[in-house]
Amino acid sequence: MSMATMKDGTKIYYKDWGTGPVVTFSHGWPLSADAWDAQMLFLADHGYRVIAHDRRGHGRSDQTWTGNDMNTYADDLATLLETLDVRGATMVGHSTGGGEVARYIGHHGTHRVTKAVLISAVPPYFAQSASNPEGAPMSVFDGLRASLVADRAQFFKELAMPFFGYNRPGAKVSQGQIESFWRQGMTGSVKGEYDCIKAFSETDFREDLKKMTIPTLLIQGDDDQIVPIDLASRRQVKALPHATLKEYARAPHGLCVTHADQVNTDLLAFLKS
């Protein structure tokens, strides 16, 4: 397996496929780089070099007890790009990974990045607070933590249903995708996944978004049951200097799987624009 060593010695697993202009992928919680298979295969076949990593505490990367926070995630991504000498990249992030992309640019700038794509992403600020009264109540995230601790295996099987919109009337349910979601989640560290809930919900990305002055594509389904679109993309497009929002009618949070062809087409068009 391809592993990169972070500044604190943590080993991060990554995939590096194809040749051409670089596209990086940051995955959502509680998944791994495997969540991007449809996009990576498609873009590598269309002349791009695609790179995706497993966030620390997730997938095949080291299961660290500390450092499971958005600043460290962004620093890990910076170290990976430095290690691979990536330049002129388009950075793509889904859900928590969208926060990782925003924090990377907010802290490390755009000297290695030319474009960004945020898909069903958690910025600008997910959790409700005194300065963010429109956010989701903290009870939502406390519930996630409680379910994770009580029975992580069953919780991930149940979470896959709204994640992919399989709980909607008439939905075509893929048992394989439910099992893939479960496998990716169970491969990670329960400690890393527990800490990551705080990272994706309580990190304030509002200042990071102001620094995302590069062209940015936003993609989200209007039936996202995990990260509601009114808390996410519809606020992002108002905060980002150069953003375009594509809303997918009736699409769920996990639209990189359920609407892979549409996502791939929009990504390719954005890359070529």
- Reply yes or no on whether 224 is catalytic: yes
Q: How far apart are CA 165 and CA 159, in angstroms?
A: 10
From the list 26, 32, 61, 95, the catalytic residue is 95
What is the rounded CA–CA span in Å between residue 260 and residue 115? 20
**Buried/exposed code over 115-126 (b: 16+ C-beta within 10 A; e: otherwise):** bbbbbbbbbbbb
Catalytic entry in 58, 253, 259, 266: 253
How far apart are the two ends of the chain, measured CA to CA in Å? 34
**Which pair of tokens denotes residue 80?**
């990976």
Report the alpha-carbon distance of residue 185 to residue 76 in Å, rounded: 20
Q: How far apart are CA 225 and CA 246, in angstroms?
A: 17
Catalytic residue among 189, 224, 233, 259: 224
Q: Tokens 């496998």 belong to which residue?
A: 183
- Contact, 98 vs 27, CB < 8 A? no
> Is 58 among the residues known to form the active site?
no
Question: Residue 248: beta bridge partners?
Answer: 221
Q: Cα separation of 25 and 59, whole Å?
A: 14
SS3 263: helix
Residue given tokens 């940051």 in the structure block: 26
Sheet holding 89-94, edge to edge: 3-5, 11-17, 49-53, 22-26, 89-94, 113-119, 216-221, 243-248
Residue pair 242/214 in contact (Cβ under 8 Å)? The answer is yes
Question: Is 253 tagged catalytic?
Answer: yes
Q: Provide the annotated active-site residues.
A: 95, 224, 253
